[in-house]
Amino acid sequence: MDKNIPVILSVIIPVYKTEKTLDRCIESVVQQGVEGMELILVDDGSPDGSPALCDAWMSRNAMVRVLHKCNGGLSDARNAGIDIARGKYITFVDSDDFVEKGTYKSLLEWLRCNAECDILEFPIKHIGTDRRATPRFTDRIFSSARQYWYVTEAWEHTYACNKIYRRSMFDDVRFPVGCVFEDVYTLPQLLCRNPRVATSSHGTYCYVWNEEGVSALASTNVAHTKQHLEALIMAAKRMKMTLWNRNGYKIYLSMLYRQIDIYRMGGEILLDWPFVRLICWLHSKLR
């Protein structure tokens, strides 16, 4: 990339044991046609051929930067990328996913005309599964972060990767290291800074379903399910949600479903709500 061109967008891609999908992922970003974009590949101590692929991409494409580090997990890799990002905006891509052509160019053009916006969310498409509903977005700027949270039921699509963020949003926010469902923890922290949030119907992030991934295994892994419940509880507290808020009951239903899964797998009761033990017991008998 020409050093005289200011960096508008930093794309951060954590890399770990994805040598089979890495080229497809990087190619989809490189071909976005964005002037002033840097691509930061964070090799998170990957033991396969991924580090060499990262270096090969850097050697032949000036927009690519590579950071090799010891394994610390997805959050740690994203944080390392944030630390060295130079762009006015940043976004994230997981190395087994890809981005449809023209996505970033159209979204950045919109941001140039709406410079007051701090977070822009765009469509995400799930590939390889029918377990996840695809969220639909209209072209809209929300009057407050709280309005965005409630109207779009954002706790259901906290994905880090289908959003473009103003870099300064992460000045004092980082992803929680060692946690699964790290996006559920992080988005409410960003929203508590009261950013101007918008959604767009343009562009697509392609999330490729992995049957061995955290999302797929969560309902059968009690530790992961506990962390999901903890993340939902934290999100509700940070956003000051109650059962009486608009759509507030829906996040509490999500918590109850996670509690039922935990009870089914290990018999534990983590929520101290009235009747939770009875509901879990009835569910185990009637399922």
For residue range 65-76, list pLDDT tens digits in order: 999 999 999 999
**pLDDT given for residue 2 in this prediction:** 59
Q: Helices 248-266 and 276-286, interaxial angle, to 10°?
A: 60
Share of the chain above pLDDT 70, in %: 94
- Report the 10 Å Cβ neighbour count for 286: 6
Residues 15 and 22: their CA atoms lie apart, in Å, by 8
Task: Give the angle subtended at the CA of 98 by the CAs of 201 and 235, to the nearest 5°.
Answer: 65
pLDDT of residue 209: 85
Give the pLDDT confidence score for residue 134 in this predicted structure.
Answer: 77
Residue whose C-alpha is closest to residue 121's, from 93, 95, 148, 83? 148
Supply the pLDDT for residue 159. 96
Structure tokens at 59: 């050697």
Q: What is the pLDDT of residue 219?
A: 60
Q: Return the structure tokens found at 62.
A: 């000036």
**CATH number for the domain formed by residue range(s) 9-208:** 3.90.550.10
Domain boundaries, the chain: 9-208, 214-286
Write down the pLDDT at residue 153.
94
Residue 125, judged by CB atoms within 10 A of its CB (0-12, 13-18, 19+), counts as middle
Low pLDDT (below 70) residues in the chain:
1-3, 131-132, 211-219, 287
With contact defined as beta carbons under 8 Å apart, do 18 and 97 qualify? Answer: no
